[in-house]
Chains A and B, each alone.
Chain A
Amino acid sequence: GAVVSQHPSRVICKSGTSVKIECRSLDFQATTMFWYRQFPKKSLMLMATSNEGSKATYEQGVEKDKFLINHASLTLSTLTVTSAHPEDSSFYICSAPLGTEAFFGQGTRLTVV
């Protein structure tokens, strides 16, 4: 199947700093990618839809200025958590659709200390 690579898999940062997470489709082009946040033992919460060549579409309640999304090319989307705080600590997962399926990255465990 198609491969989506997410990097880094784990990151620890200090409060107030920014963290960038990359999501790449390795063997297919993705004009759209999805960013999810997952709380412990909870389902995935869709944060935003990343669109190549245009602005991301954010879900209600997600702060656009805090979670910056850039879809720089047909194979790369990035999520930047700006001025991170401990409450931003979570597991972030990206996904790219191909045909009828969605392929997921490995996830990024963000810990803000």
Chain B
Amino acid sequence: AQSVAQPEDQVNVAEGNPLTVKCTYSVSGNPYLFWYVQYPNRGLQFLLKYITGDNLVKGSYGFEAEFNKSQTSFHLKKPSALVSDSALYFCAVRSSGGSYIPTFGRGTSLIVHP
């Protein structure tokens, strides 16, 4: 079985400050990890993924995430938050060798204050 934990329902950060949205996972075998962003009444937009290679993955809109195998984590980060980054963020995992259906975390609402 595979699972994703996003321990924070909401993250608040001031504009210009660095942000981190946490994600830990559990999966059999090697993980494929993803971050998506959702704006109100919209579908999910792909931000970045880790499949293999460098543990630090850079994605869209200045976001990056670090794959940490020992801590089974894939935290999303951005050096300087923008008000427009305020949205709902989902972490997802699937096994490289198992089901191709990703499992999503419950989502973290990011609020960036001006």
Residues of A at the B interface (CB closer than 8 Å) are: 1, 4, 6, 9-10, 32, 34, 41-44, 46, 49, 91, 93, 95, 97, 100-107, 109
How far, in whole Å, are A88 and B45 apart by their CA atoms in the complex? 25
B25 interface residue per 8 A CB criterion: no
CB-CB under 8 A for A46 and B101, given A100-B51, A101-B34, A101-B49:
yes
Within 8 A of A (CB), among B69-114: 88, 90, 92, 100-102, 104-107, 109
| B90 vs chain A, min Cβ distance (A) | 7
Contact assessment for B101 and A100 in the assembled complex, using a CB-CB cutoff below 8 Å: no
Contact assessment for B101 and A104 in the assembled complex, using a CB-CB cutoff below 8 Å: no
**Quick one: closest A residue to B96, CB to CB?**
A100
State the main secondary structure of chain A at its contact with B.
strand
Inter-chain contacts of A43 with B (CB < 8 A): 90, 104-107
How far, in whole Å, are A104 and B47 apart by their CA atoms in the complex? 12
**Quick one: closest A residue to B44, CB to CB?**
A104
Residues of B at the A interface (CB closer than 8 Å) are: 32, 34, 36, 41-46, 49, 51, 88, 90, 92, 100-102, 104-107, 109
**Quick one: closest A residue to B50, CB to CB?**
A100
How far, in whole Å, are A73 and B90 apart by their CA atoms in the complex? 30
**Quick one: closest A residue to B9, CB to CB?**
A41
| B29 vs chain A, min Cβ distance (A) | 14
| B10 vs chain A, min Cβ distance (A) | 10
Contact assessment for B44 and A41 in the assembled complex, using a CB-CB cutoff below 8 Å: no
The 6 A-B pairs with the shortest beta carbon distances in the complex, nearest first, are: A104-B43, A104-B44, A43-B106, A107-B43, A106-B43, A105-B43
Contact assessment for B41 and A91 in the assembled complex, using a CB-CB cutoff below 8 Å: yes
Inter-chain contacts of A42 with B (CB < 8 A): 106-107
Pick 13 A–B contacts, CB within 8 A, sort by A.
Answer: A1-B46, A4-B43, A9-B41, A34-B101, A41-B107, A41-B109, A43-B90, A44-B90, A93-B44, A101-B46, A101-B49, A104-B43, A107-B41
Contact assessment for B101 and A106 in the assembled complex, using a CB-CB cutoff below 8 Å: no
Inter-chain contacts of B45 with A (CB < 8 A): 104
